Structure 1
Amino acid sequence: MKITMIGTGYVGLVSGACFADFGHDVVCVDKDAGKIAAIESGRMPIYEPGLDHLVGSNAAAGRLSFTTDLGEGVKGADAIFIAVGTPSRRGDGHADLSYVYAAAKEIAAAVDGPTVIVTKSTVPVGTGDEVERIVREARSDVEIAVVSNPEFLREGAAIGDFKRPDRVVVGTTGDQRAIDVMAQIYRPLNLNQAPVMFTGRRTAELIKYAANAFLATKITFINEMADLCEAVGAEVQDVARGIGLDNRIGSKFLHAGPGYGGSCFPKDTLALVKTGQDHDAPIRIVETVVQVNDLRKRAMGRKIVKALGGEARGKTVALLGLTFKPNTDDMRDAPSIAIVQALEDAGATIVAYDPEGMDVAAPLMPQVTMAKDAYEAAKGADALVLVTEWDAFRALDLKRLAASMNQPTLVDLRNIYPIQEAQNAGFTLSRVGGKGTEK
């Protein structure tokens, strides 16, 4: 199959490379000539483990190519995927669909034969209807079908998620040709027995938002339970395990921490809230999730100040991890941003280290000093804060860290280190959802 991917951001580049690895002929289109040139030279615009090799090997095999010319890119395509950004619209929180609609107009002007147009971007209910209207009004002479095919990729594990998905959701209006084309595109997944779920187009659009909102709700629930655990002297990790062993609940996304961030959960929960309000079907649970999560990030800054004895002015705080999760350089809505702001407002000096995110983080937090590693960050600090659970932070030499600090205080926002281990290293420990320890 010949596939055109409009957009070489996170979703478009990973999806395009994986489709090419399945054996399809894929052309990725992006208006940013600098980005296209960088990709062709082997420099990826995002950090995703294994992506550089996947792109390079399929480009070398002739299955994957890149262009800035949309007209050339869509020629003869069996399917044209729209994988452009849908950020929160400034002012009201709705998903900004301007890039999606602009892509639809350009596709309509360039398409040269029967094709299936697929919205891969995360879009609110009804977006497919509008894409179809745009294209049909411009090109009534061409046979097209518009399909919704939401992505479910986790940053840091996107390639594995694409090739071994829990499910593939395809939303159509019942057009048999579109169903056949999408079935053929995903046929290589038959070996993994991944279910391809065909639904109505509006249903598929809503599935994506419902999935992200539910996961965000699980995260926020366990974070509120963590606060209750701290208040009553219970252990949130045991609570999470105790409820997670129930198959009806499951253990995933029950890890207490500083709140969710990233490119999906914040904007998607907000967009779902706005959709519910617009259709007079408010989703009160998700509204609360959004509010609680926003407040939690700032509260983590106060937690650090409390661990410093209630006064941060004139003190140095070392942060380990800046990205919203490990194995990515994504800083969008990362909890570290709110934490840094809260600490700066309290008068603290901040040093930080992140294995991949410092180049992206530096412009967002210009007053923060970036260190070369965890040990340099901790030197002379009054508190060491674990913000992101990178593997590189799971087996640090705690005694070395404590000995180098002005005040050996460890604030573990991910509950990575056991109390006894931190205590033996000489740390005063502050944890999430449990009792700390005195050194």
Structure 2
Amino acid sequence: MKITMIGSGYVGLVSGACFADFGHDVVCVDLDEAKIEALRGGKVPIFEPGLADLIERNARAGRISFTTELAPAVARAEVVFIAVGTPSRRGDGHADLSFVQAAAADIARAMDGFTVVVTKSTVPVGTGDEVERIIATTRPDGEFAVVSNPEFLREGAAIEDFKRPDRIVIGSEDTRALGVMREAYRPLSLNKSPILEMNRRSAELTKYAGNAFLATKITFINEIADLCEKTGADVQQVARGMGLDKRIGSKFLNAGPGYGGSCFPKDTLALLKTAQDFEAPQTIVEAVVQTNEKRKRAMGRKVIQAIGGDVRGKVVVVLGLTFKPNTDDMRDSPAIAIVQTLQDAGAVVHAYDPEGMPNASQMFEDVVYFDDPYAAMQDAEGLAIVTEWDEFRALNLTKVQSLLKGLVLVDLRNIYDRGELEMLGIKYVAIGR
């Protein structure tokens, strides 16, 4: 099957590479000439475990290619996926659909024969109707169908999520389009991945509702963690007791510094704006968004209090800058607010992250970066673990104790055991414990 992916960002690259690995003929399109040249040269512009090897293997086999020329790529395709960005629009928080709309118009001008146009980007309810209107207006004689097929990819595990998904959501009531989509995803039938066919608006809302629910679950356990600290309970024990209930489940019940990344902050805000437009207030999600934003700076204050309440002129180490491990994505990372809070209080921030420092260096001023975590600890007054990278799970605690000037470790991911640290004379502060 000939597939064209418009947008070679995170979703477009992962989806395109996986479709190619299924045996489809995939062309990835992007207007960024430097990005396309890099991809042609085997350089992947994002960090995602396994992605570079997947692209290299399929490029060598001739199943995936990259171009800036949209028209010929669309004309050849049976299915065209729109996988462009939908960032929060400045000023009002609505999803910015300008890239989606531009892609729809370009597809209309270039398509040749019956074409299934698929919105892979995360878009508000009703966007498919707008894409359909744009294509029909631009190309009245065109044969096409517009389908919603939201992505459910976790950064750091995206290839596994694409190839072994919990479900594949396809929003369309067009029989011909549904047949094409089933053929595109047919290789996943071997994994018995369920395909859920529904109307287009339901598919669009499924993505937002799913992300909002997960954000709510994270925020809920974070507030329970605060209560645990006040009452002497242990949030990890509470979460386990909750998670074994099959109606609740254990995932997303790890207390921490708040959620971040490219999806949850943007999508919860877009859902709220859509709800306002349709006069269907989402008060629970409103509370989630407000609580999560407050929590991030509160975690910075937690670090300051653990060090004694005054960090002016003192060195504080931050381990982990990305919003989660196995990515270089800094978007809305809790580390941003934590570093800013520490700097506002006068601290000198030493930082280390396995993948995030190039992106972080464009966001922060006066942060000192190190090539390994131990170098950052020399003569520091305290250490905060913000992102749970694997290498932070097995720190040499004796070495940590010898390097830190102030023996304080603030574990915002609950990685370590209190007793082990206190035996070394290190003050241990965790979340909800």
Unaligned runs of 5+ in 2: none
1:76 Cα deviation from its structure 2 partner: 2.3
**1:347-382 per-position Cα deviation (integer Å, ceiling 9, x unaligned):** 100000000110011110121100111101111110
Instruction: Quote the residue 1:222 is aligned against.
Output: 221
- Aligned partners of 1:227 and 1:433 also within 8 Å: yes
1:208 Cα deviation from its structure 2 partner: 0.2
Instruction: Quote the residue 1:367 is aligned against.
Output: 366
Instruction: Quote the residue 1:48 is aligned against.
Output: 48
Are 1:180 and 2:179 counterparts? yes
Instruction: Quote the residue 2:258 is aligned against.
Output: 259
Instruction: Quote the residue 2:379 is aligned against.
Output: 380
Over the matched positions of the two proteins, sequence identity in percent amounts to 66
Instruction: Quote the residue 1:158 is aligned against.
Output: 158
**1:253-311 per-position Cα deviation (integer Å, ceiling 9, x unaligned):** 00000000000000000000111111110000000000000000000010011001111
User: What secondary structure is seen at the aligned counterpart in 1 of 2:53?
Assistant: helix
1:180 Cα deviation from its structure 2 partner: 0.3
Which whole-Å CA distance do the structure 2 matches of 1:150 and 1:425 have between them?
49
RMSD between aligned residues: 0.6
Which whole-Å CA distance do the structure 2 matches of 1:377 and 1:433 have between them?
27
Which whole-Å CA distance do the structure 2 matches of 1:218 and 1:402 have between them?
35
**Structure 1 runs of 4+ with >2 Å offset:** none
1:322 Cα deviation from its structure 2 partner: 0.2
Instruction: Quote the residue 1:196 is aligned against.
Output: 195
Aligned-partner residue type, residue 348 of structure 2: T
Instruction: Quote the residue 2:341 is aligned against.
Output: 342
Which whole-Å CA distance do the structure 2 matches of 1:68 and 1:383 have between them?
49
1:326 Cα deviation from its structure 2 partner: 0.1
**1:148-190 per-position Cα deviation (integer Å, ceiling 9, x unaligned):** 0000000000000000000000001x21110000000000001
1:142 Cα deviation from its structure 2 partner: 1.5
Aligned-partner residue type, residue 141 of structure 2: D
Which whole-Å CA distance do the structure 1 matches of 2:297 and 2:59 have between them?
44
Instruction: Quote the residue 1:304 is aligned against.
Output: 303
User: What secondary structure is seen at the aligned counterpart in 2 of 1:411?
Assistant: strand
Which whole-Å CA distance do the structure 2 matches of 1:425 and 1:207 have between them?
49
Q: How does 1:261-410 map to 2 (within 5 A)?
A: 261-410=260-409
Are 1:36 and 2:40 counterparts? no
Which whole-Å CA distance do the structure 1 matches of 2:366 and 2:180 have between them?
52
Which whole-Å CA distance do the structure 2 matches of 1:376 and 1:416 have between them?
21
Instruction: Quote the residue 1:240 is aligned against.
Output: 239
Aligned-partner residue type, residue 62 of structure 2: G
Aligned-partner residue type, residue 344 of structure 1: Q
Instruction: Quote the residue 1:437 is aligned against.
Output: none
Which whole-Å CA distance do the structure 2 matches of 1:424 and 1:18 have between them?
48
Which whole-Å CA distance do the structure 2 matches of 1:137 and 1:276 have between them?
28
Instruction: Quote the residue 2:112 is aligned against.
Output: 112
**1:185-223 per-position Cα deviation (integer Å, ceiling 9, x unaligned):** 000001000001000000000000000000000000000
Instruction: Quote the residue 1:8 is aligned against.
Output: 8
- Aligned partners of 1:76 and 1:113 also within 8 Å: no
Aligned-partner residue type, residue 307 of structure 1: A
1:387 Cα deviation from its structure 2 partner: 0.3
User: What secondary structure is seen at the aligned counterpart in 2 of 1:401?
Assistant: helix
**1:74-109 per-position Cα deviation (integer Å, ceiling 9, x unaligned):** 122110000000000011111000000011011111
Instruction: Quote the residue 1:139 is aligned against.
Output: 139
- Aligned partners of 1:316 and 1:348 also within 8 Å: yes
User: What secondary structure is seen at the aligned counterpart in 2 of 1:74?
Assistant: helix
Aligned-partner residue type, residue 87 of structure 1: P
Instruction: Quote the residue 1:433 is aligned against.
Output: 432
1:233 Cα deviation from its structure 2 partner: 1.1
Which whole-Å CA distance do the structure 1 matches of 2:421 and 2:394 have between them?
12
- Aligned partners of 1:48 and 1:327 also within 8 Å: yes
Which whole-Å CA distance do the structure 2 matches of 1:230 and 1:324 have between them?
24
**1:209-250 per-position Cα deviation (integer Å, ceiling 9, x unaligned):** 000000000000000001111111111111100101100000
- Aligned partners of 1:399 and 1:426 also within 8 Å: no
User: What secondary structure is seen at the aligned counterpart in 2 of 1:113?
Assistant: coil
1:346 Cα deviation from its structure 2 partner: 0.4
Which whole-Å CA distance do the structure 1 matches of 2:393 and 2:424 have between them?
15
1:425 Cα deviation from its structure 2 partner: 2.5
Give the TM-score, by structure 1 length: 0.98
User: What secondary structure is seen at the aligned counterpart in 2 of 1:286?
Assistant: helix
Aligned-partner residue type, residue 210 of structure 2: A
**1:383-414 per-position Cα deviation (integer Å, ceiling 9, x unaligned):** 11000000011110011111111111000000
Unaligned runs of 5+ in 1: 435-439
1:16 Cα deviation from its structure 2 partner: 0.2
Aligned-partner residue type, residue 431 of structure 1: A
Aligned-partner residue type, residue 68 of structure 2: T
1:426 Cα deviation from its structure 2 partner: 2.2
> Please, which moves more after superposition, 8-17 or 103-112?
103-112
Aligned-partner residue type, residue 30 of structure 2: D
Aligned-partner residue type, residue 95 of structure 1: A
Q: How many residues align?
A: 433
User: What secondary structure is seen at the aligned counterpart in 2 of 1:220?
Assistant: helix
